[in-house]
Structure 1
Amino acid sequence: MELPMQYTEKMKELLGEDYLKYLGSFEESRYFGLRTNTLKLQPEDLKDKKVFSLTPVPWCREGFYYIEGERPAKHPYYHAGLYYLQEPSAMSPGAVLPIEPGDRVLDICAAPGGKSTHLGARLQGEGLLVANDISVGRAKALLKNIELFGIRNSVVMSETPNKLGERFQGFFDKILIDAPCSGEGMFRKEPDMVKSWNEEMLSFCQKEQTKILESCAHMLRPGGMMLYSTCTFAVEENEKSIENFLKSHPEFSLLPIVKEYGFVDGVNEFNQCARLYPHRLKGEGHFLALMLKGGEAQRVVLTGEAEEGERDLAPFFEFANKTLQTKFVGTYKIFGDSLYLLPKEMPAMKGLRILRTGWQLGTIKKGRFEPSQAFAMGLSKGDVMNASDFPLQDERVIRYLKGETVEADGKDGWTLVCVDGYPLGWAKRQAGRLKNKYAVRWKWE
């Protein structure tokens, strides 16, 4: 691979005697990874299924390497949301930020959702995940991955960091900034990124990083933690961005990141930060800085959404009485034709560009309720009265994912279709046939 001369000179200065080892990493194959969805199963359970050749990613409890040539994206378990395909080093931010169930968490540059799904799974259904991306198009991909993972307690939006900073002052316990960057750490994985690299891009990215850090500083509560990450090696976008931020925000301080698994110190005096290099570990390049906001720990309360009257919800409760074993308690809200179950920590969202508010249960039209794909993915087999559970090797699994009608015995009515006990979507059973209700936009191709 031909690298820009300006870039190679900077890397020689940065790496010193390690530079030739770094260059040697371009001759090695890249690594492929997937991360277990712990809302649905544990990592050891996924490995025990032996559907892929999995070896652990040491810095991420949920992560595995798989062998190039295997196709986990073309597998029913992918459609069941059992894992997310993710470059191994990119798993580090979600592993390092100390998420606890019940936290209010913001992922401000979230698309396509790798880190958001990691954070959402670690919340284990408690607290709130706000996943934002300024690009509406990219936010749609983020939304699909949030729904595929079965994350119930999330809000997906597409807003500017500045507007969010004005609305959510002091609201979040944890914030992840996976900042836009020049992508130097991904040159091996995505060689086309080399063509767009230049000094002007570095300058542009640093300015954007400064704006995002400033907005997030206002949104983090005292006592909260913020993780800043990039997939670049440029000191200007990493340590320099952090240095400038800390100078203007003395209430923030760096927390040490343990240097294991090939992680190394940040440059200069920023040894509490972590750098990941492809010649030191099995992954691509990354930078991590974990910060604590000083002050007395406190939580602000922002006014939430009002609950809808039961009259509007009657079609849903009729469906629930016939279909669900589990009763889901909480605040229900109708937006347009869609019914949502809102997270307990839900703040007011009026005036913001929202793609999804909480768990979308389905639509109510002409007095009838139709369950959504997101509703199915957030359930377990035990939550419903009627399920058609097919073993992995059953040819009906793929046929269902392709949108076909399949045969299955059982009681007529709404049925949750599963593979090995894990939900795939809805069908409506009639006379031994399942009328397919799998989301058209998700169909197997």
Structure 2
Amino acid sequence: MRLHRNLCFTVIDSLHSIFNEEEFAGKVVEKALKRDKRWGARDRKFVAETIYDIVRWKRLYNEIAGTKDHYSRENLWKMFAVWAVLKGIDLPDWKYFESTPVRRIKGKFDEAQKTRVIKESIPDWMDEIAVKELGADAWSKEIAAMNQKAEVILRVNTLKIDIATLQKFLRKEEVDTEIVRDHPSALRLVERKNVFLTEAFKRGYFEVQDASSQLVAPFLQVEPGMRVVDTCAGAGGKTLHLASLMQNKGQIIAMDIYAGKLAQLKKRAKRAGVHNIDMRVIDSTKVIKKLKDSADAVLIDAPCSGIGVLKRNPDSKWKLQPEFLDNIKKTQAEILDSYSRMVKKGGKLVYATCSILPSENQNQVKNFLDTHKEFKFVQDRKVSPSKSGFDGFYMALLERIE
């Protein structure tokens, strides 16, 4: 592979924004890809994947480069050189790569494999907590799996099209897909492409949604005609899935504390042909109280550490702090206590997170059941990144006793 100056400069500028200005990697990559309209698919792929790669392996590359966790432009070029050498890319005769110790880089990489926090490029505190909760062997497998590149998974919108017809439609647009076993509405992209530019997307035939995330809505066991509340709806990925499972019949109340996210859901619902969603901003406790004892099913896709989705959000490793984890566990308990009141007798509740830590998952459910005898445990499911190849998720199905 030959390195091109304008692409490399874009990568360095983007890393500066992420590491020094604390911008989110997803937003930075999105902005970077608009930098030059002349770039082709290969150029765009290089920029996006290189940025994510260096963000993902920030600690490892920093250790090898000897840049001491200081991200000046000079040091960013040193980290870039480490990335290129480890990828087997010949460094061009540029001033940024003068005196790059190629042999020493490879030797330091081999040495780094002996220490998990450096080998897997994670903060010490995260490693300590995960080892305590999961055990060293299990955590080693999980973090190794989450350091792999995330695949693009689509969820077929069954309100508009079936999975076989969508595959054919996408093939005509030069997008090849594969069926994902045990995920009835999922298609995996054979080769990463910008599917948001396809006619199929514009027609609302699919949403981009990880395979593990696609397990949550069916876990609630909804049926057409029900009254369902999605309490932490966000931009509505799971809300739209619930609508398709309910065949657009009944009522879904999509709630969130952020009005902007519900505005995004409104646009997505229109594209998807969904018309049974009622959106409500949680701006006071009255919103919850009005729905007391009224829902056939309630989904709590709770805010969490996101430790199960590091594969697709590698910069969250560096943004997440231990005190956030302590605070979010308190928030989860409060949400469970408050939002569960909307479930009517005989109704169902699903508590879900995209974390793999028991303290955010089964421990929260146990604590809730210990203090809420009106609910009984039905079943739960833990999705392991190392076993599934997808994001880490947890979901528990509870039922309110008649």
Q: How far apart, CA to CA, are the structure 1 residues paired with 2:177 and 2:284?
A: 38
1:220 corresponds to 2:339:
no
* Residue in 2 that maps onto 1:9: 128
Q: Deviations over 1:287-307 (max 9, x none)?
A: 111111111xxxxxxxxxxxx
Q: How far apart, CA to CA, are the structure 1 residues paired with 2:375 and 2:179?
A: 34
Q: For residues 274 and 21 of structure 1, do their structure 2 counterparts lie closer, same or farther at Cα, with a shift above 3 Å needed?
A: same
Amino acid at match of 1:4: P
How far off is 1:242 after superposition? 1.0
1:32 corresponds to 2:32:
no
- Match of 1:280, SS state, is helix
**Structure 1 residues 415-426: aligned runs within 5 Å:** none
Is the strand fraction higher in 1 or 2?
1
Question: Residue 287 of structure 2 is aligned with which of 164, 167, 172?
Answer: 164
Tell me how large the CA RMSD over aligned residues is.
1.7
Question: Residue 277 of structure 1 is aligned with which of 384, 395, 398?
Answer: 384
- Contact between 1:31 and 1:282, CA under 8 Å: does it hold in 2? no
Q: How far apart, CA to CA, are the structure 2 residues paired with 1:289 and 1:184?
A: 18
Q: Deviations over 1:158-201 (max 9, x none)?
A: 11473332101111111111101111111121111112222211
Q: For residues 54 and 15 of structure 1, do their structure 2 counterparts lie closer, same or farther at Cα, with a shift above 3 Å needed?
A: farther
1:114 corresponds to 2:240:
no
How far off is 1:228 after superposition? 0.7
**Structure 1 residues 337-376: aligned runs within 5 Å:** none
* Residue in 2 that maps onto 1:44: 164
1:177 corresponds to 2:300:
yes
- Contact between 2:308 and 2:391, CA under 8 Å: does it hold in 1? yes
How far off is 1:224 after superposition? 0.9
- Match of 1:41, SS state, is coil
**Structure 1 residues 68-83: aligned runs within 5 Å:** 68-83=191-206
Question: Residue 330 of structure 2 is aligned with which of 204, 207, 213?
Answer: 207
Q: Deviations over 1:9-41 (max 9, x none)?
A: 232340443333223224532121110111111
**Structure 1 residues 25-424: aligned runs within 5 Å:** 25-51=145-171, 52-160=175-283, 162-256=285-379, 273-295=380-402
Q: How far apart, CA to CA, are the structure 2 residues paired with 1:93 and 1:108?
A: 14
Q: For residues 50 and 77 of structure 1, do their structure 2 counterparts lie closer, same or farther at Cα, with a shift above 3 Å needed?
A: closer
Q: TM-score, normalised by structure 1?
A: 0.60
Q: For residues 64 and 212 of structure 1, do their structure 2 counterparts lie closer, same or farther at Cα, with a shift above 3 Å needed?
A: same
Q: How far apart, CA to CA, are the structure 2 residues paired with 1:208 and 1:127?
A: 30
Find runs of 4+ consecutive structure 1 residues off by over 3 angstroms: none
The more displaced of 49-58 and 180-189 is 49-58
How far off is 1:125 after superposition? 2.0
Q: Deviations over 1:40-79 (max 9, x none)?
A: 1122221233423222233431111113422211111111
How far off is 1:91 after superposition? 1.1
- Contact between 2:169 and 2:200, CA under 8 Å: does it hold in 1? no
- Contact between 1:161 and 1:215, CA under 8 Å: does it hold in 2? no
List alignment gaps of at least 5 residues for structure 2: 1-56, 58-120
- Contact between 2:218 and 2:245, CA under 8 Å: does it hold in 1? no
Amino acid at match of 2:319: S
The more displaced of 15-24 and 167-176 is 15-24
Amino acid at match of 2:255: N
Amino acid at match of 1:18: A
* Residue in 2 that maps onto 1:358: none
Q: How far apart, CA to CA, are the structure 1 residues paired with 2:205 and 2:162?
A: 9
Amino acid at match of 1:145: R
Q: How far apart, CA to CA, are the structure 2 residues paired with 1:58 and 1:160?
A: 41
Q: How far apart, CA to CA, are the structure 2 residues paired with 1:122 and 1:181?
A: 25
Q: TM-score, normalised by structure 2?
A: 0.66
Q: For residues 90 and 208 of structure 1, do their structure 2 counterparts lie closer, same or farther at Cα, with a shift above 3 Å needed?
A: same
Q: How far apart, CA to CA, are the structure 1 residues paired with 2:273 and 2:284?
A: 26
What percent identity do the matched residue pairs reach?
A: 28
- Match of 1:222, SS state, is strand
Q: How far apart, CA to CA, are the structure 2 residues paired with 1:11 and 1:201?
A: 15
Q: How far apart, CA to CA, are the structure 2 residues paired with 1:130 and 1:93?
A: 17
Q: For residues 253 and 161 of structure 1, do their structure 2 counterparts lie closer, same or farther at Cα, with a shift above 3 Å needed?
A: farther
How far off is 1:281 after superposition? 0.8
Q: How far apart, CA to CA, are the structure 1 residues paired with 2:369 and 2:216?
A: 20
Q: For residues 50 and 81 of structure 1, do their structure 2 counterparts lie closer, same or farther at Cα, with a shift above 3 Å needed?
A: closer
- Contact between 2:378 and 2:398, CA under 8 Å: does it hold in 1? yes
